[in-house]
Amino acid sequence: MKYVIIGNGVAGVTAAETIRQHDASGDISMISDETFPPYCRPMISNFLEGAVPSEKLPIRGKDFYDKNRITPVLGSRAAFLDPDSCMVTTKDGRQLPYDRLLIACGADPRRLDAGGTELENIFFMRNINQVRQMIDALPQVKNALVLGGGLVGFKAAYSLLRRGVSVTMLIRSGYPLSMQVDETAGRMIREVLQSHGLTVRTGVSVEAFEGSGRVEKALMSDGNRTACDMAVIGKGVFPAHGFVPVDRIKTDAGILVDENMHTSASGIYAAGDVAEYFDLSRQKHWVNAIWPEAVSQGRVAGMNMAGHRISYRGSLSRNVIRMFDTDVMCAGRVSERDVDESCRTATAFDPRRNTYRKLVFEGNILVGFVMVNNVEQGGVLTSLVTSRMPVDISDRYLLDPGFNFSRFMRL
Amino acid sequence: MTHHNTQSITKDGQLLIKKMETDQVETVWDRHQAQQPQCGFCEMGLSCRICVMGPCRIDPFGEGPQQGVCGADADIIVARNLCRMIAAGAASHSDHGRDLVDVLEGVAENRAPGYEIRDLEKLKKVAAEYGVSTQGRETAEIAAELAAAMKQDYGTGKKEITLAARAPEKRQDLWRRFNIMPRGIDRETSEAMHRTHMGVDNDWQSLLLHGLRNALSDGWGGSMIATEVSDILFGTPQPSASKVNAGVLKQDQVNVVVHGHNPVVSEMVMEASRDPEIIKLAEAKGAKGINLCGVCCTGNELLMRHGIPMAGNHLMTELIIATGAVDMMIVDYQCIMPSLGRVAACYHTKMVSSSDKARFPGMEHVEFHPENAREKALEVVKSAVENYINRGSVFIPVEPLDSIGGFSVEAVLGALGGTPDPLIDAIKAGKIRGAAGIVGCNNPKIKHDYGHVTLTKRLIENDVLVVDTGCAAVANAKAGFKVNEAISYAGPGLKEVCGSLGIPPVLHFGSCVDNVRILVLASALADSLGTDISDLPLAGAAPEWYSEKAVAIGAYAVASGIYTVLGPMPPIAGSMNVVELLTKGLEQVAGAAFAVEPDPEKAALLIRRHIENRRGALGLDSADL
Amino acid sequence: MKQVIVHPERCVGCMQCMTACASAHSKTGRLFSAVSESPLPKPRVHVGAGMHNHGFPNRCRHCDPAPCRMACLPGAIYRQTDTNTVMIDPDVCINCASCAMACPYGVIRYHADPLAPAGKIIAVKCDNCIARQHKGLIPACAEACKTGALTFEESDAAMKKKTDRVAKSVTAETALPEQAPGFALLNTVKKAITEINLCR
């Protein structure tokens, strides 16, 4: 049996290990354009912040490929996939035949439609090389401009603030993480960042970057120029399935998969940021490009590829963020965009503990929440969202900072 | 996050809890929540810290340890713990009584300036009970001799304490028969501590019987002395109008709040707050006067005798400070949460402790003694006035309500025309089915005032006359039950009787030591019918009790023949033998027992059933409920 | 394999397991000295208040597969297969709280720990008292529990006991005798109080 895995992110790595556990003899190849051993992508911001050294980023040892008897095909992306001949071709022309293929090549950052983006010190902050370059540039950086208040924008801004850089964040909505959290939590996050020196600007965008070689300033849509010696573009990501023949493999935003992580083409699976599967809180297909999803999906894909039919119950968007002394956790439908009149919400703000919680229900099913501080019990709420178990205890218990698992125990 | 409507039924309570939340000040409810779950061993009375072979605990499920290191089983440990609770409660009331006897002695010896004998008649009456001759003698002489005789009651020189003679003959005989007639106030407490020491009394029944004797030494001893001497020194209460709830605080006056139990301090503070010089100073500071208010039982003492307004009960004490309107709170002792100093630190309130035996964090200590009380009172009230200008923002959440207080036994008999007969006739005729004493504290386990108010409401609407004391009395006043118009809440019979007498359907009997007024009235009714207290259509309830004092009160009520329903569960569930004895077995001994019922709706039914049952036994008409 | 088994119906909420756990995970290992250590050792079993303020010893179930392990970014969480214990490597943990989001029981806490690098805040949870077990001792929580709410026994045997109990309770003719009437009485009162406070 020949297994080919495109991508050495955590979805691909987990799938490869799972396959190896269940199939000791099959050939496994992994394709990746990154030559660095498999590492933890979400931690690159901790690396930028200076909280974690680069040696801690790898999620597996240097012997990962050898130990699992995997043939690494590194330094080039998959460029062409032919489902008829069961063949993947890389950009540099290497051809890999497969019996089972996993597409786990993740997502690429969205480009910015502005002039001068080729200047130095303009980054996407998507991979470890970009962060290395950012760190190298730091000594010369006084003012950084962060475009976008999504996860990448937030993490870049936070890490740079921790490095003592003065950061200006440009966002469309009035607060960061507006796709993840509700307005109250978003404003709390903004206030924390502002109290540590962040400048937030709304309603303006960058027309062009200017500078000689290196970026020096940005021309804004209001005609003003802002000095910046570093810029981070965080305008979101899109699944990297450009090489996939969309007439043969069904795609939406991501590559559509069934409960076995199988695509519409025989023998081809997808997992991680590139895959689109049923979202438990939204009850429709959705791309949830987050680490724990990639791990779970990689495991399910690996099991199925190795011949064990197991099902994945569905994905869930969720995040946890620690910044300075404030913690935020969110899951499912809780942002303004995701909550509509079919939902019932319950909120509680406790000024004594500086905690905030919002729960979003559809009927008696919890479909989303956000919590600011006291996040230790968040996993209990997450499991309520994923299990879609009817909640029959009063909101006040779930909202209480002292809430704990035993509230579900009956005497 | 707090839920104001699940914590208190009172409007002022709810609004002030919300304010404390906004002000980020911790409340008793927050601390109660933080304590959950509370230790089940302790809740069941199964943990023993009496000696250092221990501490020990008994596994209620029968697999773990069943005996402490010493060999005490669940029955012994539960009984010992309960006995010690009674001893602590009896000690508290009785020590409070002793402080009053000290003042009486000080007045007699002319070394307590500011204090005097205000009720000479009562002095003579009580003196006669103590065998002190009054004929043609100086007041001071009588007072001195009475004080000395009362001190005898505290000691070991007697076979029976004096005021036990006030109980009906049958009751006294019963006490002698079961060997629970109290011999000395301190003696019984001291013996309780001795018996519960490792290796002394290890028969759970005899321990509990001594607990009853110890409680009786409080009810017919220490507490009764406290009430009687307070009446002698400060006047026997007569019905008078007052105001209640947090709205009694005044925006434009210096608000001085007294908190605690003993009128010895608060009476002097009241005098000082009326001092023309100090009032002039208050005006100079921009205030329109000095507004003295009470909380808890010392508030009840002043309300009963002088109509001083009442700002709230136990669970209101932190909240009152959060109004920002309290310029000073003067405390003496008992039920003063050590948190108050911390709460006051968040506002401008100056906290003063006054008793040599009660000090608190965050309070200035100004020690009051009979010799210097007048002078110290002037000093602290002056300092309260000076604090007026330090006020920040003030939030007085509600308008005050009217309330009538001051129903001493003398006042009740006065209203009845000098004899209990009209009341007995109304009971015989079935217009009033019976009477209930609703007493006791607040407890954050029970929604604030819900137990008191619900139970009272259900009883009066079913023609049960309610008398109340302590925190229960404040709850009922705030619920509007203590004005003559409140007969609209009463059933037709009670409405008719109270209407014609011109009294509310709920009578304010005073502070927690004043529960003895209920004993005295019950004895008068029993004597008048030639029977025992336990035969009367009478019951007691402590729907929100929390303290050791309440355990002592409950125990003396039951030992005196009054069926008593407790809201919260006392720490006895670890021994079903003790539970059985207290809730059933005591019926055979004392003619009355305890019941535990946290739901006041159900408690009302229990009490009404008991009352109807007793009516039947007396040959009166009785309903089947 | 012996494991700590939780019998929630027997928990009286005394929290002695918490003190025992904290002192077992202190530098000195003794309660009296543990309370003066810095950082203060903290319990890894958490007695929470249930619906009626009854106690429940919430403790890591050492799930397999473990959601915390799958969510761990730096790979600090691993399984020690011989003791069936999910462990957290304090040197690798980056205190990102991803495991908080994953743990369906909410048993992971974040603080400095006497057994971790000094000053480092890390995720901390039950380690089945591996260190004590190596010395032949049973886990501290089970040792401290005097009501049998936490027992250390063969998991298969415990499972069989529970099954038998359930089977007995569903056979009609013999209702199980009340295990502890006093405790049932206390719980009835507590239940009544919470319901009254909430619903009226």
Q: Per-residue pLDDT tens for C112-154?
A: 998 889 999 999 999 999 999 999 999 999 999 999 999 999 8
3-state secondary structure B151-218: HHHHCCCCCCCHHHHHCCHHHHHHHHHCCCCCCCHHHHHHHHHHHCCCCCCCCHHHHHHHHHHHHHHH
Beta-strand relationship, C77-80 and C85-88: antiparallel
What letter does residue B585 receive in the DSSP assignment? I
**Helical packing angle, B296-306 and B470-478, nearest 10°:** 70
**Residue positions counted in chain A:** 411
**Helical packing angle, B296-306 and B263-273, nearest 10°:** 60
The answer to whether residue C40 neighbours chain A at the CB level (below 8 Å) is no
Residues 6+ apart with CB under 8 A from C122: C88, C90, C93, C95, C110, C111, C112, C113, C116
Q: Which subunits sit against A, judged by 3+ Cβ pairs under 8 A?
A: B, C
The answer to whether residue B618 neighbours chain C at the CB level (below 8 Å) is no
DSSP of chain C, one letter per residue?
-EEEEE-GGG-----HHHHHHHHHTSSS--HHHHTT-SSPP--SSEEEE-TTS-EEEE-----SS-HHHHH-SS--EEEETTTTEEEE-TTT-----HHHHH-TT---EEEE-TTSSTT-EEEE---TTHHHHHTTPPPHHHHH-SSSSEEEEEHHHHHHHHHHHHHHHHSSS-PPPPS-HHHHHHHHHHHHHHHHHHH-
DSSP 3-state of B240: strand
Average pLDDT value for residue range C20-42:
89
Average pLDDT value for residue range A129-143:
94
DSSP 3-state of B542: strand
Are B227 and B553 in contact, with CB atoms under 8 Å apart? no
Does the ipTM surpass 0.95? no
Distance CA B581, CA B414 (A): 40
- Of the candidates B524, B617, B567, B555, the residue with the CA atom closest to the CA atom of residue B79: B555
Q: Which residues of B touch C200 (CB under 8 A)?
A: 447, 450, 454
Examine the pLDDT at C77 and tell me if it is beyond 50.
Answer: yes
Examine the pLDDT at B611 and tell me if it is beyond 60.
Answer: yes
Q: Which residues of B touch C147 (CB under 8 A)?
A: 40, 59-61, 63-64
What letter does residue B346 receive in the DSSP assignment? T
Q: Phi and psi (nearest 5°) for A92?
A: -90, 15
- Of the candidates B333, B270, B331, the residue with the CA atom closest to the CA atom of residue B96: B333
Distance CA B579, CA B571 (A): 10
Distance CA B307, CA B304 (A): 6
Residue B472 CA, chain-centre distance (Å), reads 9
pLDDT recorded at residue C176: 53
- Of the candidates B385, B591, C51, B195, the residue with the CA atom closest to the CA atom of residue A404: C51
The answer to whether residue A402 neighbours chain B at the CB level (below 8 Å) is yes
Distance CA B558, CA B564 (A): 6
End-to-end CA distance of chain C: 49
Please tell me the distance in Å from A321's CA to the nearest CA on chain B: 23
Question: Across the interface, which of A40, A407, A410 has its CB nearest the CB of C74?
Answer: A40
Distance CA B215, CA B380 (A): 36
pLDDT recorded at residue A73: 94
CB burial of residue C28 (10 Å; 0-12, 13-18, 19+): middle
Average pLDDT value for residue range B74-80:
97
Are B422 and B522 in contact, with CB atoms under 8 Å apart? no
Question: Across the interface, which of C58, C92, C104 has its CB nearest the CB of A404?
Answer: C58
pLDDT recorded at residue B1: 43
Residue with tokens 């402590």, as numbered in its chain = B542
Averaged pLDDT score across all residues of chain C? 89
Inter-chain contact B598–C54, Cβ cutoff 8 Å? no
The answer to whether residue C191 neighbours chain A at the CB level (below 8 Å) is yes
Distances (CA, A) of B511 to B299, B471, B515, B608, C11: 8, 8, 7, 25, 39
Q: What angle do CA B359, B360, B362 make, to 5 degrees?
A: 135
Average pLDDT value for residue range B82-98:
98
Are A114 and A147 in contact, with CB atoms under 8 Å apart? no
Work out the number of other CB atoms within 10 angstroms of the CB of residue B240.
16
Average pLDDT value for residue range A136-143:
94
Inter-chain contact C180–B60, Cβ cutoff 8 Å? yes
Question: Across the interface, which of B38, B44, B445 has its CB nearest the CB of C183?
Answer: B44
Residue B325 CA, chain-centre distance (Å), reads 27
Beta-strand relationship, A166-171 and A143-147: parallel
Q: Is the dihedral of CA A190, A195, A198, A200 positive or negative?
A: positive
Question: Across the interface, which of A52, A291, A380 has its CB nearest the CB of C105?
Answer: A380
Average pLDDT value for residue range A230-245:
93
Please tell me the distance in Å from C189's CA to the nearest CA on chain B: 7
Q: What residues does B328 pair with on adjacent strands?
A: B256, B350
Residue B311 CA, chain-centre distance (Å), reads 16
Distance CA C59, CA C6 (A): 8
Residue with tokens 């010089």, as numbered in its chain = B277
What letter does residue A140 receive in the DSSP assignment? G
Question: Across the interface, which of C8, C67, C106 has its CB nearest the CB of A376?
Answer: C106
pLDDT recorded at residue C174: 52
Beta-strand relationship, A255-256 and A275-279: parallel
Inter-chain contact B61–C181, Cβ cutoff 8 Å? no
pLDDT recorded at residue C63: 93
Task: Supply B616's token pair.
Answer: 């039947």
Percent with pLDDT over 70 in chain B: 99
Question: Across the interface, which of B39, B445, B574 has its CB nearest the CB of C13?
Answer: B39
Task: Supply B80's token pair.
Answer: 């010992």
Amino acid identity of residue A302, one-letter, is: G
Work out the number of other CB atoms within 10 angstroms of the CB of residue B418.
10
Task: Supply C123's token pair.
Answer: 């995720």
Q: What residues does A208 pair with on adjacent strands?
A: A115, A219
Are B472 and B443 in contact, with CB atoms under 8 Å apart? no
DSSP 3-state of B21: helix
Residue with tokens 């105001």, as numbered in its chain = B243
Percent with pLDDT over 70 in chain A: 100
Please tell me the distance in Å from B455's CA to the nearest CA on chain C: 13
Distance CA A60, CA A38 (A): 6
Amino acid identity of residue A152, one-letter, is: V
Please tell me the distance in Å from A81's CA to the nearest CA on chain C: 30
Inter-chain contact B1–A351, Cβ cutoff 8 Å? no
Q: Which residue has the higher pLDDT, B258 or C30?
A: B258
Inter-chain contact B37–C181, Cβ cutoff 8 Å? no
Distances (CA, A) of B158 to B149, B154, B229: 10, 9, 20
What letter does residue B535 receive in the DSSP assignment? G
Chain C residue set in contact with B, beta carbons under 8 Å: 10-15, 47-50, 53-56, 145-148, 179-183, 185-186, 189-190, 192-193, 196-198, 200
Q: Which of A347, A349, A352 to substitute to test the interface with B, most B CBs within 10 Å? A: A352
* H-state helical runs in A271-348: 291-305
Q: What angle do CA A319, A322, A325 make, to 5 degrees?
A: 150
pLDDT recorded at residue A173: 84
Distance CA A217, CA A231 (A): 9
DSSP 3-state of A119: coil
pLDDT recorded at residue B20: 95
Q: Per-residue pLDDT tens for C152-167?
A: 998 888 888 878 777 7
Residue with tokens 């006020």, as numbered in its chain = B391
Residue of C nearest to A331 (CA): C101
Q: Which residues of A touch B30 (CB under 8 A)?
A: 352
Q: Which residues of B touch A402 (CB under 8 A)?
A: 33-34, 36
- Of the candidates B295, B318, B315, B299, the residue with the CA atom closest to the CA atom of residue B307: B299
**Helical packing angle, B263-273 and B223-234, nearest 10°:** 20
Element (H, E) at A95: strand A95-97
Average pLDDT value for residue range B500-525:
96
Q: Per-residue pLDDT tens for A251-269?
A: 999 999 999 999 999 999 9
Amino acid identity of residue B172, one-letter, is: Q
pLDDT recorded at residue A411: 53
Inter-chain contact B33–A402, Cβ cutoff 8 Å? yes
Give the alpha-carbon dihedral of B481, B485, B490, B495, to 10 degrees.
140
pLDDT recorded at residue B3: 64
